Structure 1
Amino acid sequence: MSLLLQFSPYFWLLFSIAVAIAVLRELRRPDDDVLRKKRERL
């Protein structure tokens, strides 16, 4: 059990970073779609 408690902070740190990256990717997607549409029009 002590091993799990020692690993927990690192796990939550990596988990929070992964969630932040996923959220940033989702927020940037509409911008990518707009750029693709502009390129298709040209």
Structure 2
Amino acid sequence: APRDENIKLYEEGYERYLEVLEEAFKNGFEQESLICSSG
């Protein structure tokens, strides 16, 4: 059914979204740590 296909695409997109969010969070956290330690 087309609906199952949509759900699959949605789940894959959501997982990718979480991964990107996690990477961005880590990068932002590291940058803040660098700023704090250098300041």
Calculate the TM-score normalised by the size of structure 2: 0.66
Q: Which residue of 1 aligns with 2:16?
A: 20
Which of 23, 26, 30 does residue 30 from structure 1 map onto? 26
Q: CA deviation at 1:37?
A: 2.2
Unaligned runs of 5+ in 2: none
**Percent pairwise identity:** 5
Give me the whole-angstrom Cα distance separating, in 1, the residues matched to 2:34 and 2:19. 24
Q: Figure out how many residues of one structure are paired with residues of the other and give that number.
A: 38
Unaligned runs of 5+ in 1: none
